Amino acid sequence: MSDFRASPDMLIVTIADRQYGVISTRQLRDAGLNKDHVLHRLRTGRLHRVHRGVYAVGRPELTHRGRWMAATLASGEGAVVSHRSAAALWGMLPNQIEACIDVSVPSHGGRRKRSGIRMHRSSTLGAAQVTHCLGIPVTVAARTFSDLEPVVSPPELRSAARQAAILGLRIGTDVNHDRTRSELEFRFLQLCNNNGLPVPDVNIRIGPFLADFVWSEEQLIVETDGYQYHRGRAAFEADRERDLELRALGYDVMRLTYRQVTDRPEETASAIRVAIATRSPQQGPGAKIGHIPTKAPWPR
């Protein structure tokens, strides 16, 4: 049997392929390269410096995943993608061009600050708080959501919670601490109160989804859709898919815009009142829903 040993370059390509195109100095050394070998490959364009101690293999351009992986390799033992970057990795927030990658390290570990990396040191970053997503070290979904809360706006946090629910990510049971996560949701509760509508439950999990407002007995859901987070084909398709699945679970879904809630509250309340009455178990004379107009126009 022949004694076959892979060449250093073959090993480097194999490692880089599973790490989205990047490799660390330690891994280069383990593959058989010394400092002069690395310098030669840098001069000839076979390696490209990304961070101190981390290189792109073959070409300098990196995907989002390559940049996330490079940031963890550059940050030392125990480093994981975290905060907004982790939310993008999990799919809770959209991928965007990031000036800095968020990375968390144990308070006693990690390296000094690196350019292009926002370092977070944490005394609570234990084994139970970290995992891998797509092969990249990252905070678990629940920790990611918790870290995200102080660094994003309430609408972004609400959007992240909704997307986590769609993806089936477990982000903990403490996501409803303030009951609502946007001005639009707050105004909707005011609309209900001002127009004598029964008070709905807020941010309730139904199947894999987190519904904005729910009348459980009537199996009626109202979703308040801000334009910023529900525009575009992807959001349109996701919302319709969500509605179909909720209807398959027996719920009726009404979607309200900011203008319908804030500029036409009486007409909107009338439409909701009809929907509640239509689906109420008490549809006879004993129903206590309030006055129901014979024909309530749906606000346009």
The string of pLDDT tens digits covering residues 141-177 is: 999 999 998 888 877 888 888 788 778 888 874 444 4
Interatomic CA distance for residues 26 and 8, integer angstroms: 13
Phi-psi sector, 36: left (phi>0), alpha (psi -120 to 50), beta:
alpha
Per-residue model confidence (pLDDT) at position 150: 86
Q: Where are the alpha helices (DSSP H) in the chain?
A: 8-18, 25-30, 35-43, 64-74, 83-90, 141-148, 154-167, 183-194, 227-230, 232-248, 258-262, 265-279
Per-residue model confidence (pLDDT) at position 234: 56
| Residue predicted with more confidence, 150 or 29 | 29
| CB 81, CB 116: distance < 8 Å | no
- 287 pLDDT exceeds 90? no
Token pair 């195109």 is found at 21
DSSP state of 277: H
Listed ranges 9-23, 114-128, 179-193, 282-296; the one with the highest mean pLDDT:
9-23
Calculate mean pLDDT across residues 107-125: 81
Per-residue model confidence (pLDDT) at position 161: 83
Task: Kindly state the tokens that stand for 251.
Answer: 């719920």
Per-residue model confidence (pLDDT) at position 169: 85
Per-residue model confidence (pLDDT) at position 97: 79
Interatomic CA distance for residues 276 and 31, integer angstroms: 68
- 255 pLDDT exceeds 70? yes
Q: Which CATH class for the 183-279 domain?
A: alpha beta
- 296 pLDDT exceeds 70? no
| Residue predicted with more confidence, 289 or 266 | 266
- 80 pLDDT exceeds 50? yes
Residues of the chain with pLDDT > 90: what percent?
48
| CB 174, CB 196: distance < 8 Å | no
| CB 73, CB 22: distance < 8 Å | yes
| CB 187, CB 202: distance < 8 Å | no
Helix and strand element counts for the chain (H, E): 12, 12
pLDDT tens figures, 37-60: 999 999 999 999 999 999 999 999
Please provide the average confidence, as pLDDT, over all residues in the chain. 82
Instruction: Spell out the residues 6+ positions from residue 117 whose beta carbon is closer than 8 angstroms to its own.
Output: 51, 71, 74, 75, 100, 101, 103
Band of the pLDDT at 233, cuts 50, 70, 90?
Answer: low
Give CA 211 to chain center in angstroms: 16
Interatomic CA distance for residues 291 and 288, integer angstroms: 9
Q: Is 165 exposed, middle or buried (0-12, 13-18, 19+ CB in 10 A)?
A: buried
Per-residue model confidence (pLDDT) at position 235: 55
